[in-house]
Structure 1
């Protein structure tokens, strides 16, 4: 069963997702003074980026029915990023007892569980307004690769990295190869899985161009 953008069900879950993402982010920002975390560190997390991006995409979709031809690529990239945020968190960042648990803090619940699930459902169940050109999905890797490069530049400047598996001081430069390689492979596989799912979920929409 596929839904349209203006379906009350779709509007409802997108609204819930937007509010959850923005409220969780506002909660984190309000707690910066309590936790002592620097704003430059907080906004250095891929989780923050992916949640803000998917919320922005959904806001756009709610307020602007007519969208440019390239918008479906943006929607696909945002979906891939947030879904992979949830997977990478579960596999590489979360404590063992948190991997399958929903009994975690609200911000983690929103950013790493609720938003990835809602985004995956939205991608699979809502008809695309424009055909998705799957052969262009490689462009979705530009941002994750750029993010990795910026993380290591930042580490060279002040020694801070957002995630332990990216830390040269802990893993050594050669030790970054397997951990970073796993993440990059996961992103490549995840990005093309998301892109190809548009063909499976919306065969007529995706059939114009591969």
Structure 2
């Protein structure tokens, strides 16, 4: 179901009044795109690029999804247009994914040193530290939030699960894996435990993000996303 006229009016008003956050989102999106471009350029400078590999990383995909959403929200707001009703569910999903990126990096990849991140140091910091931190700050403090239904958690899980399935299939067939903790050489029993832990982490944080819309300040009361 779509939003009622009253909801649209509230949404449009909230969008137009959030100029500072819209500029911040556009700035973070620009920094993110620059970090991804720098990473791709560095790889292209020393080897032939396989787009299915370099864009197969959850880090790259999640950062680009977040950047695309921030660009959309920023442009809509700065041009005085109304946000679509799916914008907040999408933002909840992107926040969940990018925080997962930050946590997995801090716990599993950062201890590996240079091998655990992207090859350009500043870009590595942007993609693994800056965007997760900003996404949480934006989610907690930016105005215009809506109350989201608990069933959204199931939808949030779809993308990470599909990504994991594709990676496991590729690891078993062409041998490419984006992260060492998903390498088939570790044994599928250990990988299964890792996948289960990651999936539970996504579900838990996704639930926390969704439930937070009931008590965080700045929400628009009385609206539940379809």
Q: TM-score, normalised by structure 2?
A: 0.80
Name the larger-Rg structure.
2
1:18-29 correspondence to structure 2 within 5 Å? 18-29=29-40
Match of 1:34 in 2: 45
Moved more, 132-141 or 31-40: 31-40
The answer on 1:82 being equivalent to 2:82 is no
Q: 2:85 aligns with which of 47, 53, 69?
A: 69
Match of 1:177 in 2: 192
CA distance in 1, matches of 2:62, 2:222: 28
- Count of residue pairs brought into register by the alignment: 202
Match of 2:157 in 1: 141
Question: Where does the alignment leave 5 or more consecutive residues of structure 2 unmatched?
Answer: 1-13, 115-119
Q: CA deviation at 1:96?
A: 6.4
Q: CA deviation at 1:160?
A: 0.7
Please provide the CA RMSD for this pair: 2.4
1:45-56 correspondence to structure 2 within 5 Å? 45-56=57-68
- Is contact 1:124–1:198 with CA below 8 Å preserved after alignment? no
Match of 2:4 in 1: none
Match of 1:60 in 2: 72
Distance 1:29 1:96, change over 3 A: closer
Question: Where does the alignment leave 5 or more consecutive residues of structure 1 unmatched?
Answer: 99-103
Q: CA deviation at 1:206?
A: 6.0
CA distance in 1, matches of 2:156, 2:168: 20
Moved more, 31-40 or 151-160: 31-40
Moved more, 126-135 or 145-154: 126-135
- Is contact 1:76–1:195 with CA below 8 Å preserved after alignment? yes
- Is contact 1:168–1:175 with CA below 8 Å preserved after alignment? no
- Is contact 1:85–1:112 with CA below 8 Å preserved after alignment? yes
Kindly provide the CA deviation profile for residues 88-126 of structure 1, in whole angstroms up to 9, marking residues without a partner as x. Answer: 11111112679xxxxx81111110111111111111111
Q: CA deviation at 1:127?
A: 2.1
Q: 2:18 aligns with which of 7, 22, 25?
A: 7
